[in-house]
Structure 1
Amino acid sequence: MGANYVDVDKIRSIARDLDQVATEVDSADRAMPETLDAGPFTPGIMRLVEAVAANTAVHVMRVRAAAEGVRKAADQYEDTEDHHVETLHGFLRDLSGEDPDEGR
């Protein structure tokens, strides 16, 4: 079984990338024209455009939620790593017979 290494900075970078994608997709939605003239097809096309805009908004929210989930995962990995370091230091201190309050 190989060692597992979690790069918390890389995980946080993924969250930033997801935020950036959500921002870019959200801003692209605003580039749509306010009016559309497609003759007799205008109402149908407008419904399609509105559906795409609504669907895009849902996807933007989902990508932002994914970014938040990735950030939480990074926090949990970091907390776990800190806990393991503290536990290992305590074990080594106990093993060597050091007084944990010494030097305070």
Structure 2
Amino acid sequence: LNPEIRSWWADKFSLSSYKGSTPSLYIWNDMNEPSVFNGPELTMPRDALHFGDVEHREVHNAYGYFFHMGSADGLLKRGGGNDRPFVLSRAFFAGSQRVGPVWTGDNTAE
């Protein structure tokens, strides 16, 4: 949610972070939603506060979108704005497809 944190995250994809690599980088964001595996709710407490004093229950589903956006911004910066970033994301929200493809997980019907 915090634009400064999204910018910080985007900077983690800089060429200097991946010595010897090319400007083109393709990534998969997996497990990019808030999770608490040993708690009663299996996510952050609903009343946990995010940037702007917004309760987690209000932004839980949007969290993946902002994570996805920050990753795509990082790849745009890395490539100098010349390449369309490819960031596959498992956590997403309405509008996420604007910044990259989404994956619905390993789903099977029986």
Give the TM-score normalised by structure 1.
0.31
Structure showing the higher strand proportion among its residues: 2
> Greater RCO between the two (CA within 8 Å, min separation 6)?
1
Structure showing the higher helix proportion among its residues: 1
Give the TM-score normalised by structure 2.
0.29
